[in-house]
């Protein structure tokens, strides 16, 4: 499964998603559809000026093999957190 981490300018905090459109919005402010991720919008507002639509935040793509878990979360079945 592919995940995207959009970093703040100093790369100390990030917005993580598995949705490429949401990641693009947070990275550069481009809206592919009618809605934007609320947490992603708050992330951009926290690190960029309100009227700054030109700054692109750094982004990293990561591929996580099926069956790998993060901190008790099964990424292939997030509704079964910690159950193994």
- The predicted structure's pLDDT at residue 59: 95
Residue 2: DSSP 8-state:
E
Q: How far is CA 82 from CA 63, 70, 76, in A?
A: 21, 9, 12
- The predicted structure's pLDDT at residue 75: 54
- The predicted structure's pLDDT at residue 78: 52
**Contact residues for 24 (Cβ-Cβ < 8 A; gap 6+):** 30, 32
- The predicted structure's pLDDT at residue 70: 64
Q: pTM for the complete prediction? A: 0.74
């Amino acid at each position: 499964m592919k995940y995207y981490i959009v970093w703040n300018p100093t790369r100390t905090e990030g917005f993580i998603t598995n949705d490429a459109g949401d990641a693009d919005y947070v990275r550069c402010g481009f809206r592919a559809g009618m809605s934007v991720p609320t947490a992603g919008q708050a992330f951009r507002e926290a690190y960029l000026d309100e009227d700054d639509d030109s700054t692109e935040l750094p982004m990293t793509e990561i591929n996580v093999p099926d069956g790998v878990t993060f901190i008790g979360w099964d990424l292939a079945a997030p509704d079964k957190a910690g159950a193994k």
